[in-house]
Chain A
Amino acid sequence: QVQLVQSGAEVKKPGASVKVSCKASGYIFTTYAMHWVRQAPGQRLEWMGWINAGNGNTKYSQKFQGRVTITRDTSASTTYMELSSLRSEDTAVYYCARDFVVVPTASFYFDYWGQGTLVSVSS
């Protein structure tokens, strides 16, 4: 069965960076795109960007452009999301979410989600 297992909670100071991992199993990793979505306390879900796990191409939301980097390690079936220059407003649960269709197409709706990683930013 498809599983996405994320790394554990992080506490960071303002200005630092955080890197969250998402290990996939139960399917061929390179055949689907992976997205990252965050949810700040009491806020709506917010899409950050995606990676084509097959060729490594990425696209980011303009809101996070320059601060977010999504990468993948095909040998480990793992996707990573790194967010830099953290501020208190980045405190949120970060999710990886698999795209519904196989690459090279991306549907931008999501059939499997990781359990979420809480990133807390506080001085």
Chain B
Amino acid sequence: DIVMTQSPDSLAVSLGERATINCKSSQSVLYSSNNKNYLAWYQQKPGQPPKLLIYWASSRASGVPDRFSGSGSGTDFTLTISSLQAEDVAVYYCQQYYSTPCSFGQGTKLEIK
């Protein structure tokens, strides 16, 4: 099974500043035949289910603000929030769907500094 590891476990960023969350997979999630990275990002606020932010490593889901962006390839990925807003306080998870069972990172808790 593919193990997903996020860093850091928690992060405090000032409003309006950039937040960067990293995700590393134990093996590549890049499928060579279509050159797509099978990697998604979710946001989870307290008491709520996860919300899909990014899929294919860099495609924003419908309705997601453009301050959220995803990058990376192979085994190393990044979620960037370009200008942190108060409503972005949440736990963020990466997920690989390259192989079954799909698997999630341990989460990164993002707070306001």
A113 to B43, alpha carbons, bound, how many Å? 12
Which of A44, A61, A95 makes the CB contact (< 8 A) with B107?
A: A44
A34 to B69, alpha carbons, bound, how many Å? 27
Please name the residue on chain B nearest to A59 by beta carbon.
Answer: B100
Size band of the interface chain B makes with A:
20 to 34
A-contact bits for B3-45, CB 8 A (1 contact / 0 none): 0000000000000000000000000000000000010101000
For residue A109, CB closer than 8 A to chain B, the reply is yes
Please name the residue on chain A nearest to B95 by beta carbon.
Answer: A109
A111 touching B104 in the complex, CB below 8 Å, given contacts A44-B93, A45-B95: no
A109 touching B55 in the complex, CB below 8 Å, given contacts A44-B106, A59-B100, A61-B101: yes
A59 to B103, alpha carbons, bound, how many Å? 15
Give 11 A-B contacts (CB < 8 Å), ordered by A residue. Answer: A44-B107, A47-B101, A47-B104, A95-B49, A100-B55, A109-B40, A109-B52, A109-B55, A109-B95, A109-B102, A115-B49
Q: B: which residues have CB within 8 A of A?
A: 38, 40, 42, 49-52, 55, 61, 93, 95, 97, 100-107
Secondary structure at chain B's binding surface: helix, strand, loop or mixed?
Answer: loop
A57-85 interface with B by 8 A CB criterion: 59, 61-63
Task: Give 5 A-B pairs besides A108-B102, A109-B52, A109-B55 with Cβ atoms closer than 8 angstroms.
Answer: A59-B100, A100-B55, A107-B55, A111-B52, A115-B49
A108 to B49, Cβ gap below 8 A? no
A53 to B40, alpha carbons, bound, how many Å? 23
A115 to B47, alpha carbons, bound, how many Å? 9
Which of A63, A110, A114, A116 makes the CB contact (< 8 A) with B101?
A: A63
For residue A46, CB closer than 8 A to chain B, the reply is yes
Please name the residue on chain A nearest to B62 by beta carbon.
Answer: A111
Which of B42, B93, B97 makes the CB contact (< 8 A) with A108?
A: B97
A111 to B52, alpha carbons, bound, how many Å? 6
Residue from the set B49, B95, B100, B107 with the largest chain A CB neighbour count within 10 Å:
B49
A44 touching B104 in the complex, CB below 8 Å, given contacts A107-B97, A109-B55, A109-B97: yes
A109 to B102, alpha carbons, bound, how many Å? 9
